[in-house]
Structure 1
Amino acid sequence: MSGLLMDHVTSVKVKLGLLVAISVIVASIVAAVGAAGSVPLWLSIPVTVGLALGVTQLLAVGMTSPLREMTAAARGMARGDYSARVSASSSDEVGELARAFNRMAEDLAAVDRQRRELVANVSHELRTPLAALCAVLENLVDGVAEPDPVALRTALDQAERLSALANDLLDLARVDAGAARLSTTEVSVAELLERAVAEARVAGRQVQYDVRVTPPELIVPADPARLHQLIANLLDNASRHSPAGGVVELTARTTGSGWRLEVADEGPGIPVADRDRVFERFGTLTEAEGGGGTGLGLAIARWVTDLHGGSIHFVDPAPRRTGARVRVDLPSEPKHHVHVIRKAQEPVMTKPVETPAPVVPVAQRPPESGMDMLFGRFWPEVDLPGNVRAVLYCLGVGVLAGIVLPFRSLGIGTFVVLLAAGAAILTFSVNRRSRFTQACAALCVLLAATSVLRDAEWIVVLCLMAGAAVCMAGLVNGRTLPSFVAAGVSWPLAGLRGLPWLGRSAQAVKGLRTSAAALRTILWSLLGVVVFGLLFASADAIFAEWAGAIVPDLEIDTFVLRAFVTVAVGGVVLAATYLGLNPPNVDTGSGPVRPVARRYEWLVPVLLVDAVFLVFLAAQATANFGGHEYLERITGLTYAEYVHQGFGQLTVATALTLLVVWAAARKAPRATTADVTWLRASLGLLCLLTLVVVASALYRMHVYQEAYGFTELRLLVDVFEGWLGLLVIGVMVAGVTMKASWLPRAALLSGASLLLGLAVLNPDAWVAQHNLDRYAETGKVDWSYLQGLSDDAVPVLAELPDDVADCAMADRERSDDDWLEWNLGRDRAQSLIPAAPTAMPTTCVSDPPR
């Protein structure tokens, strides 16, 4: 539809102006609606940008499609296919270019057709006299007539060469005619190869032939004459380019889908860039081609392979070998393929014809889009069809989120939306059968369940963020830390990369024959539910209450917000679904790491770091054994101030130690036993010292909390430091086994699991309990901080004596949640919270926070 609207515009500049104007208008309208509906900016801006990009893609696809079709058609012409034509419906400069391209393609097709007809005519005219000449010369050579052996042998050699040329030309004419039939029978591969080798030895070239067939009794259905022709051309090509005394290997073996034939020589080989060109007819690489030196042998070999439904191509030589190696894969049952050079089949004719080739639109393979060129090898999109079902699933999740999430606290409704989103994403993921992806999915479900378990939003949000990171890593099936980072970056980029796929999905709707019937069914169903629902709601108060709990409030302000939430959540889920359908190449890496040439280049820095750690631990021991008086005399700090001063630095030092170990392990050579021993000893010592630093950091935080109180942040930092220590232990295990490929995934899953464990621990209740224990011992507590804890801490705070209970429970109100907001933490607190909020008594004395 967008293409038809733009087709009548006669200027590309005007089209671009209209595209920009329409996109700006759409963005302005969406932004204005969002502002009128009091939609927050953090939600309004991404939805506006996303809709503007979608409109731009919808309008631009019709403008750029002729250019993409021309690119695909030009590539087909490079392969000898001149039948493709470009859609030229627009009236602008691109349309004129498309029409000129079609005229050029027709001219090239006519020239190519005339060339093929000339080859067929010449072959037909030369074959009969050459056959007669060969017969006469054979009689002379056999002694039937008086011969001059030298002259007659020379004449016979030349006649046979011309005969081979004529046969090749005729075979090529059959290829260009468009079709040839197979006469299949059961063929013994070993006998066929031996016969072909015996004929190749007659040529007298100084090479040896090594034939291997696995299993030796291999029998395949094939056309023996065509297959013999294929093998003969390949052997001739290999023996021609092998050095004197060289070996030509001829192997055949079964595969999962058929059988494979390989011919390898010890010649100069074929450059990778030229391996496809050697199969071209009348190509420029005739020295590399076979077929009796005519430059047609490999073209005929490809033709025979195509007739059997197989494939042929040159591959790299075997390890520690040189030369060329051609591989032919043939199916277990010949598919009787018709080797088609053009869509319109033409018989071989002896007179020129002027019938133009029919117009065939370029629709066999999606042309390369601008997104393909933008993302390149990092994120290719090969033959990914549109998926209407995936788009509808994601839209359904967005609608569910628009109904459930606005104006509600975290609870059952949030968990249901997250489950629906995860199910939609995992259903279409290409890696859904991977064990790592399945483990990530299970962990994501547990992390999402914290929205039902805990009222403390800080831990729930952290768990949901960790779940998102784990989900992205599982979708791309990453294995390294850089791949996890690339997966996280790819999620928002998927909204841009997936625009062409979204366009194909939208176009696929037009081809669904049942779409109209399905749409009618949905409309009639909704109408029936609305009509009878309104009648029953007005007739029965209980039914009205039930309906009110399900049907959201659809006033104009709330409707706008729900619409924005629908688009935002649906778009986020759709981007993740595309990421699962077409994950980027996140584990390509930058190639093998080159170790340093001398051991001291990495060992000296590591040993110096070890020395710094030893000096630091000596200082720690001095502080511990010297006592508080020694510490205050030397530093002027109390012990609590001393331990608080260095906790952050120790945490950073632990993380940097992991970086040092990673860098040293990558650059250290491992060629000798001494190299490995030094690597294990130096890095193992560093890891042991790091574990002592981790223990020191945790002890410092414990002392500081005992002195100044417990908080959520301090507890979270404790868990983070403990996780770093766990990673150090994992590094030590990897150093013992010298295998670390498992470590990045283990680090990701263990970090998310520790965060989940913290949520299960009920951190707000833990912080409240330890602060109250400190209050019982010292009489010091920060009542204001305890009041700010979530309802998860209420069961602990409710155990306080009556004279101080109001100090912790002041200003706390009962929540009025519906069933979609039900949450275990809030539900347990409801009966313990006073019915009416109370103010903090003046007798409550708070210890100032530090």
Structure 2
Amino acid sequence: MATAVLSAFLLGEGAGLNLLIVAVPAGLGAYFAARAAGRRLRPWTLVWALGGIALLAVPVLRDAGWPTFLAVVSALALASLALNGGRTWPGVLLGPFGLPASLGTGMVWGWNGLRSHAAGSNGRVAPVLRTGAVAALLVIVFGALFAGADAAFADLLGNLIPDVSVADGPWRFLLLLVGLVGALAAAHLAAAPLRWDRLEIRPGRARSRWEWALPLVVLDLLFAVFIAVQLAVLFGGYDKVLSETGLTYSAYARQGFWQLLFATLLTLVVIALALRWAPRSAAGDRTLVRAVLGTLCLLTLVVVASALRRMDLYVDAYGLTRLRVSVAAMELWLGLVIVLIMAAGVYGMKWLPRAVAASAAAAVLAFGLASPDGLVAERNVQRYERTGKIDVAYLQELSADAVPALDGLPEPLRSCALDGIARALEETDDPWYATSWGKSRARSILADRGAHTDDTSCDAYDSDRSDDYDDQDDQDDQDDRGEWEKEGELGPYDQ
């Protein structure tokens, strides 16, 4: 009930500290339910629980909606893993679905428990309800009197208490139901976890040594040839490659990154299938598996580095965007997964599923704490200082996290870049529990220096929108950009 009431009063205005506040009683309810069912607190349960709490710090610190969404979804997944547990691949992959699967059964379980408790209470429920009602009445009456007696106390009370109106009644009631059903699902899952670890995945039929190893050896050779070409390009320069292939500088960097990203993903699939069909009976077979797959993993790490280098070249030429920073972060995480697979080949596979899940949660946490919108703004400010090119219209669409970096631009460019963010902040008045530190910091900066422009002062910067910030393959823009690059206007980026 505490989770339900807090959800109704705190979750209607946005995401911030309110998510952590609501999570506290829900977590306590799940803990008491698990303890009553005889479950013990295990180390990995503590890891998942602390990880979920850490992820809920992202909406407290950052204003951008996309890393906040990833953090909240990941926090729910970790909470489900903490309640349900999971050691094997089925347990770790299906564990995050434990909470949704317990929504219906949790309500039935809670209703039956309430009836049983009421039947055995011997009249103790009514005094508890009367006591709570009297306490609430006293707080409301004397709080209203003190608010009328002192303006400072009234202001403090107004800032702390959520603003609830009769018109918000249906919305608040829906949030109350969401909090109640969610808390019951968490408690029921903690008391009766779903045993997905008991699902068995039968190992594939082992192939003969050469039938299994020869295709992978060929793939290793292909990776080695590709890496050799990359080294030749690195030391030979890009001019020769571009003249021989007919590609523009941007096409070489961008197309290369996406294809290398997909190559990394497919490599993980190949490794999984190879481990399923690899011979494992003799010591020689196990040594061959480690040698072939270890080589493939090492070469894949070089491919990951090459993909990130391509993205870095493209960002240097055309600036950083949300999409580009997101896929670069994903490529970094895939590289980490490759490292974990290599470590599992040495120390055993038993811990790998939970390690991969923990690395994914850590990656989402690092992504949110790094402030992607702040990074986008910072890199584009640096690019403007170096080249004089900037896309003001795109920067105006960023969140309040970008304000500190954009504040370093010269006027009137600074005010033009901050104008859209400032207008968005002026239109919102979030309460203390539904705002972020990034938004508060942005308001403080804008209060000191402002960001007010007229309609004509920013027109000069509209012509700089040639950077393909939306990452769309518009052929006309590609042709114009290709001609621009061929004419040598990229300057230092051709080197």
TM-score by length of 1: 0.51
List per-residue Cα deviations over 1:633-688 (Å, max 9, x = no partner).
Answer: 33321132112013222222212212221222232222222211211111111111
Equivalent positions of 1:337-356 (< 5 A) are: none
User: Does the CA-based 8 Å contact 2:279-2:285 persist in structure 1?
Assistant: yes
Q: Which structure carries more strand by proportion?
A: 1
The counterpart of 2:442, out of the listed 823, 829, 839, is 829
Q: Which residue of 2 aligns with 1:457?
A: 65
Q: Which moved more, 1:723-732 or 1:760-769?
A: 760-769
Q: Which residue of 1 aligns with 2:316?
A: 706
Equivalent positions of 1:405-554 (< 5 A) are: 405-406=11-12, 408-429=13-34, 433-508=41-116, 509-513=118-122, 514-554=124-164
Cα distance between partner residues in 1 of 2:238 and 2:364: 35
List per-residue Cα deviations over 1:774-820 (Å, max 9, x = no partner).
Answer: 11111111111212222222111111122421221123144544332
Cα distance between partner residues in 1 of 2:237 and 2:156: 68
Cα distance between partner residues in 2 of 1:810 and 1:539: 41
Q: Which residue of 1 aligns with 2:466?
A: 848
Question: Percent of aligned positions with the same letter in both sequences?
Answer: 38
Residue 545 (structure 1) shift: 3.1
1:638 maps to 2:244: no
The counterpart of 2:355, out of the listed 733, 742, 746, is 746
Q: Please, what is the CA RMSD of the aligned residues? A: 2.3
Q: Which residue of 2 aligns with 1:779?
A: 388
SS of the aligned residue for 1:780 comes to coil
Cα distance between partner residues in 2 of 1:502 and 1:419: 19
Q: Which residue of 2 aligns with 1:599?
A: 209
1:691 maps to 2:304: no
User: Does the CA-based 8 Å contact 2:110-2:184 persist in structure 1?
Assistant: no
Q: Which residue of 1 aligns with 2:197?
A: 587
Structure 2 residue runs without a partner (length 5+): 469-495
Q: Quick one: which amino acid aligns to residue 849 of structure 1?
A: D
Structure 1 residue runs without a partner (length 5+): 1-394
Cα distance between partner residues in 2 of 1:803 and 1:836: 9
Residue 836 (structure 1) shift: 6.7
Q: Quick one: which amino acid aligns to residue 85 of structure 2?
A: N
Residue 771 (structure 1) shift: 0.8
User: Does the CA-based 8 Å contact 2:85-2:95 persist in structure 1?
Assistant: no
Q: Which structure carries more helix by proportion?
A: 2
Matched positions, count: 454
CA 591–693 in structure 1, closer or farther in 2 if over 3 Å, else same? closer
Cα distance between partner residues in 1 of 2:182 and 2:202: 36
List per-residue Cα deviations over 1:371-408 (Å, max 9, x = no partner).
Answer: xxxxxxxxxxxxxxxxxxxxxxxx211210211121x3
Q: Which residue of 2 aligns with 1:572?
A: 182
User: Does the CA-based 8 Å contact 2:416-2:451 persist in structure 1?
Assistant: no
The counterpart of 1:838, out of the listed 446, 453, 472, is 453
Cα distance between partner residues in 2 of 1:473 and 1:524: 40
User: Does the CA-based 8 Å contact 1:631-1:638 persist in structure 2?
Assistant: no
User: Does the CA-based 8 Å contact 1:401-1:417 persist in structure 2?
Assistant: yes
1:396 maps to 2:14: no
Residue 582 (structure 1) shift: 0.9
User: Does the CA-based 8 Å contact 1:472-1:487 persist in structure 2?
Assistant: yes
Q: Name the larger-Rg structure.
A: 1
List per-residue Cα deviations over 1:80-117 (Å, max 9, x = no partner).
Answer: xxxxxxxxxxxxxxxxxxxxxxxxxxxxxxxxxxxxxx
Residue 837 (structure 1) shift: 4.3
CA 603–452 in structure 1, closer or farther in 2 if over 3 Å, else same? same
User: Does the CA-based 8 Å contact 1:797-1:805 persist in structure 2?
Assistant: yes
Cα distance between partner residues in 1 of 2:91 and 2:172: 35
Equivalent positions of 1:224-239 (< 5 A) are: none
CA 500–829 in structure 1, closer or farther in 2 if over 3 Å, else same? closer
Cα distance between partner residues in 1 of 2:467 and 2:119: 65
Q: Which residue of 2 aligns with 1:44?
A: none
Residue 626 (structure 1) shift: 5.3
List per-residue Cα deviations over 1:1-56 (Å, max 9, x = no partner).
Answer: xxxxxxxxxxxxxxxxxxxxxxxxxxxxxxxxxxxxxxxxxxxxxxxxxxxxxxxx
Cα distance between partner residues in 1 of 2:451 and 2:239: 51
SS of the aligned residue for 1:546 comes to helix
SS of the aligned residue for 1:587 comes to helix
Residue 597 (structure 1) shift: 4.9
User: Does the CA-based 8 Å contact 1:426-1:432 persist in structure 2?
Assistant: no
User: Does the CA-based 8 Å contact 2:81-2:98 persist in structure 1?
Assistant: no
Q: Which residue of 2 aligns with 1:190?
A: none
SS of the aligned residue for 2:198 comes to coil
Residue 713 (structure 1) shift: 2.2
Equivalent positions of 1:243-282 (< 5 A) are: none
CA 755–489 in structure 1, closer or farther in 2 if over 3 Å, else same? closer
SS of the aligned residue for 1:583 comes to coil
Cα distance between partner residues in 1 of 2:393 and 2:201: 56
Cα distance between partner residues in 2 of 1:803 and 1:421: 49
User: Does the CA-based 8 Å contact 1:472-1:484 persist in structure 2?
Assistant: no
Cα distance between partner residues in 2 of 1:642 and 1:623: 12
Q: Quick one: which amino acid aligns to residue 155 of structure 2?
A: E
Cα distance between partner residues in 2 of 1:823 and 1:699: 34
The counterpart of 2:411, out of the listed 799, 802, 818, is 802
